[in-house]
Structure 1
């Protein structure tokens, strides 16, 4: 590189990776959303265009043919001259790479809007001026009315825009966008295809820019060197330490002190000697090495997205104040380095901050002093914690205590990396520092030594509070990646803190605006609204039928429905080896109904059962095994009762309604054989079956064998499962009798079990819709009139589903408040 007649060698590439520029990726995403919005709006409002055109015509009226021709002529000349003016500038500027992007964008945009169902449609332009008989057939209007031309112009402007002066770029985009109001005034037609052309051209141009690049890729290193030269540091050599990408472009600059060019101090303290040759005049090193952090537009857009994401997901006390611009962000680093240096805790000293061309900024500082943390030196551990203690004593936080940002010099800790530091920090940010350093030192020096050093430095109370932040959410990913097996290490550190401080439970600190439980509850409420909506439409008819109901049967159905929850609680209580509170377990069944009804396939109920058992003393594996055992016995009991009642009902009822056709049976068998074949052929599925599923099946088999050896426990589980199944059937039978139906209990049991089994495969939460259809169809197959079957099934669902769901929501809240789930 040649700067001011001087050759400066550069080692490494100064270019940014094409695919890592967030601002260009963001432009592609926004333009894609714009295309999608125009397409959807045009599709859903296609039938209203004519009425909209008539309304616009009545409001503004159409221009006369003479005025329309004049407007088309003036605007058409300008819009035709625009791309050629840009093309001439590119050619004379010899920007051949930009010329290739120009041509590619124009070609792709034109082809994109030429694709039809019959292939690519060529433009239908009449170029013979002698045939013009009407102003709408004018030569220029053909271009203005063709969305392909608009798309090509938008694509060309998008590609060339970053290379154009800002004033010209704004002027030409205004000229292009003026097509919409001009066209609307001249012909009173809403230009939907023109809007499609604009957005498609923008999208195509954004894609081309992503692959071709912008001037922001060219790093103005020469300007950075001139700034340093004015500060009295003539750069002799540059080495790329870190290429631009997710972070800044980091350069190591070997400088020679030139006192005649500047004081070298400016607003920042003078650089301390770093061991190089020193000038005898003023103590400045004759040669030294500086580190240059160069920030481009990519870092600005990435920083905005990161700040917006943290503001949306994290609490305000956990989020640093947002920076108004890239300049303020870079200045923050320099000022915080100065503040750390005033306390004697800065590993480096700022030298210069400068705004460069093309949206770049430079932050120059000295190389970091001190040695990295040494896991074999116990003094480094004490020094690191003492440094954080001193930092917090001055109400300052660091926010990024990775090992590379902590250095030790003369037995004292020095800190590097000031992007997330804060003066006047909130207590939550200082606790985050303690948690980060606790995790990092535990990985380097051992858990016991790290916890002891932390307690000695900041106190047991602070360590306990900070340990609540040793979670995946509260610990930043950059910190987790800097240690080995972060998940296990965080759990081990929390256990050690509990043991050292005699703390029973360390509660997880909620750092996000919404906790996981709150999000789950929100999802459950949305699911509840979804599943309840079809039922609400039938409420008026159902209420009318309820006027003739026999209430004694309704009360019986309600009582039997309540017994099913006791049976389910008894079965799970026995599966958990009677180690949980039976009363709490019974109450949990109502919350379980709410969770199961509002999630597909009832997975919410299973997850809630496992979580309840874990909060009541069972380990994760044991709780999962207990729920799996209950579900297995429930299925076996259900099938056994189905076989028994089928034989009983088969003597006096026709069960052919429930037997699938031969085609369906063959299809089911074929699917099952295909699944078995896939598990035998695909290695990944075979490994999952061998390594993950087989041990669980083995554990379940062991549980079943132990269950068979304990008759009392076995009878409780089977009895509870049978009570659940038969109780549901008895509730349906009582509902049918309440509306005057005449059907045998054995028949209703068959309908309940077969209909419920078929409906369990439905993807809807709680099987809503599928359960009702299956039960109504089953009752009709046994001769129950529709006038009785429909309200009976609705009453049955109210008793067994909707009333428990209404009770389940407050029950779930009560369980959470009492730390039972």
Structure 2
């Protein structure tokens, strides 16, 4: 428990409010987006011919004004990345970097999800959907970049900023126009892309949660002061059944208040259940599923005042107020009561039953429906008088059906406590036999509250017993059936299950033959992969020699690189090589500071080359159109990954300190060492050639391993996969990036178009040749170099 101080030295005793909440509204928007997505796809499949004609008209119009199309392509393609980046910078300057991080997470999920969905769709059997989204052309079913941008914009809640929202959607519209007119996107594909991006954004918001904006208890006390109350104490008590906060507030005159706080983010709590009831039940019994905060406040206040005017025993409503923009309160007079649920069944006397029905009778005379007559809303005060609470669920000017439902609900609840005979007899004595006969058709499980339905599960014959008792009062009465349910859940489940079963039976899912993965390997390609693996060690030696002004023997330096492969078994990939090379240079008579600087310089240039090659290959891989200024998928993926990494490193203080300290130690003397190397052009060429050869050798090795198992991927695609996976492996804390590299390579090759079995085989062969096979010669080299005091 925590104590929060309010104005006037009033302490509010309440638990600490959580910093982040999963808002039901985000879940609601996610579900609504999915429903709209399904409706759009269904409508597009039905109106296929109309959409084809519209696309032809737009394409023809674009050919008449090519300059306009190119301008739209350039502006849309560039701005679709510039606007989100500018918004991120603006948020970071306002110390709201966490929101940007959430947006980046959504963007990555959007990119990966849309691409994987597109690949699955292309290789699957959903030909109609594929034709709808691609128009039969070789284009992406879902635009990967647009999906990630929309997911980002949704997750950062850019819609709450009118200027940014207008700018963002303008650039998105230009982007869609450019791609649509250039036949790189279909109209249904654009709509589905936008909706998928929004769904991913909302799902991310709900998954990671949102900052808690609920006003604390001291804000509640301040709002009460504005209503001319003088609180001296406040304590949070148990929330009500709808999850609204409640406070017990003591006043200076010795009286007390029961305060109910309506939080804006709770207005959609339980919405799926309410929506389900609205769909399942007839219109007269349905409650409105969604209300604004203001509407909910007015509804409860109006019901409370109407119940007081009817003379019913309810707590008096003394005041209402908004608490900022995120909450509102209702202040009731405090009455010492206990709920009927706390009484034993034997304590419920006939006199008490009569009092309960009298209170309900007062409400019904004024056409007020309570809608929740259960044991937790029927209370007894110290004098034994009945007090009805929970007015928020009620209805004013209620129709006959709602009033009859109240009688059916109370009859059933009391029958579960005291038996059907006593419940019906007490109700008939107050309400009359005719009122019970009118409620008889509504004695259905679906018409009752959830708590009452759960209790009926233990007494399955109770409703029949109540009907029998009412029938004894009016044996000649004619009962008209009232149909409350539109459909039964069992019927709906049967339809859905039958549809799914038919779909899977007719789809004929392809079976994968795993045995052929190994037996079809081409060992000529494997030999090339082995040669490329060996070349990588020579290249590593050239790279190190290039960044050391002093002379280093080539083949002994090659042995050092083999020894480093042995050390990788017990050290992370980025650490083992640095340590072994630094030790080797020190043994060559180079001072420790210069040795570390030389290795640091080589690692720095290696990192620059790595990033440059990744961007280059990613751009080449993704640049399949010249009609738009649009970066490739790989380039955007890299930018997102780098952005997330920077956010994580800068946002976590311990991680930031570790990285900065290590970078400082590694690169502290790098610049002077690089200046020494630059004085020798031969050394510069040797270092750069070695650096480039390392990467190319490993890419050739992976490409050969793919070809060894019959895979057909472009060299640039393999390069992007390797460079990305190698970056992940370098950051992994496992020896040699074990596990991380394999997983990243397999996933990358699978996404690039290989089957999972083929990708796994190629990765295992690549790792065998570059990680495991060099271990034995690495151990021999390590032993040899130690024996000759070179390490």
Superposition TM-score, scaled by structure 1 size: 0.50
Task: Verify the 8 A CA contact 1:381 1:445 in the aligned structure 2.
Answer: no
2:258 to 266, 269, 290: 290
Task: Verify the 8 A CA contact 2:214 2:326 in the aligned structure 1.
Answer: no
Once residues 43 and 395 of structure 2 are traced to their aligned partners in structure 1, the CA distance between those partners, rounded to angstroms, is 46
1:169 to 165, 171, 174: 165
Once residues 411 and 156 of structure 2 are traced to their aligned partners in structure 1, the CA distance between those partners, rounded to angstroms, is 51
Matches within 5 A, 1:591-630: none
Matches within 5 A, 1:258-269: none
Q: Which residue is 1:447 aligned to?
A: 420
SS in 2 for 1:179: helix
Q: 1:225 to 1:180 in 2, by over 3 A?
A: farther
Once residues 329 and 248 of structure 1 are traced to their aligned partners in structure 2, the CA distance between those partners, rounded to angstroms, is 14
2:17 to 9, 14, 18: 14
Q: Which residue is 2:82 aligned to?
A: 81
1:408 equivalent in alignment to 2:383: no
1:468 equivalent in alignment to 2:441: yes
Task: Verify the 8 A CA contact 1:14 1:219 in the aligned structure 2.
Answer: no
Once residues 433 and 203 of structure 1 are traced to their aligned partners in structure 2, the CA distance between those partners, rounded to angstroms, is 40
Task: Verify the 8 A CA contact 1:345 1:387 in the aligned structure 2.
Answer: yes
Paired residue total: 470
1:228 to 221, 224, 231: 224
Once residues 158 and 334 of structure 2 are traced to their aligned partners in structure 1, the CA distance between those partners, rounded to angstroms, is 35
Once residues 42 and 320 of structure 1 are traced to their aligned partners in structure 2, the CA distance between those partners, rounded to angstroms, is 33
Matches within 5 A, 1:733-812: none
Q: Which residue is 1:27 aligned to?
A: 29
2:57 to 39, 51, 55: 55
Q: Which residue is 2:646 aligned to?
A: none
Matches within 5 A, 1:461-500: 461-481=434-454, 485-499=458-472
Task: Verify the 8 A CA contact 2:368 2:396 in the aligned structure 1.
Answer: yes
- Shift in Å, 1:463: 1.8
Task: Verify the 8 A CA contact 2:84 2:149 in the aligned structure 1.
Answer: yes
Q: Which residue is 2:394 aligned to?
A: 421
Matches within 5 A, 1:290-689: 290-300=258-268, 302=270, 309-319=276-286, 325-357=292-324, 359-373=326-340, 374=343, 375=345, 376-378=347-349, 379-409=351-381, 410=383, 412-481=385-454, 485-499=458-472, 501=473, 503=475, 507=479, 509-512=481-484, 514=486
Once residues 289 and 48 of structure 2 are traced to their aligned partners in structure 1, the CA distance between those partners, rounded to angstroms, is 43
Residue deviations 1:439-485, cap 9 Å, x none? 22222233332222111111122223223322212323343346673
Unaligned runs of 5+ residues in structure 1 are 122-143, 258-277, 279-284, 528-821
Task: Verify the 8 A CA contact 1:216 1:296 in the aligned structure 2.
Answer: no
Q: 1:401 to 1:33 in 2, by over 3 A?
A: closer
Question: RMSD across aligned C-alpha pairs, in angstroms?
Answer: 4.4
Q: 1:8 to 1:197 in 2, by over 3 A?
A: farther
Higher relative contact order (CA 8 A, sep 6+): 2
Q: Which residue is 2:92 aligned to?
A: 91
Q: Which residue is 2:526 aligned to?
A: none
Once residues 417 and 146 of structure 1 are traced to their aligned partners in structure 2, the CA distance between those partners, rounded to angstroms, is 49
Once residues 149 and 486 of structure 1 are traced to their aligned partners in structure 2, the CA distance between those partners, rounded to angstroms, is 58
1:248 equivalent in alignment to 2:243: yes
Residue deviations 1:23-50, cap 9 Å, x none? 2222222333455566677889999988
Q: 1:168 to 1:366 in 2, by over 3 A?
A: farther
SS in 1 for 2:461: helix
- Shift in Å, 1:294: 1.8
Residue deviations 1:245-281, cap 9 Å, x none? x823222142434xxxxxxxxxxxxxxxxxxxx3xxx
- Shift in Å, 1:302: 4.9
Once residues 176 and 149 of structure 1 are traced to their aligned partners in structure 2, the CA distance between those partners, rounded to angstroms, is 11
Once residues 189 and 321 of structure 1 are traced to their aligned partners in structure 2, the CA distance between those partners, rounded to angstroms, is 40
Unaligned runs of 5+ residues in structure 2 are 123-139, 500-791
Superposition TM-score, scaled by structure 2 size: 0.51
SS in 2 for 1:294: strand
- Shift in Å, 1:161: 0.8
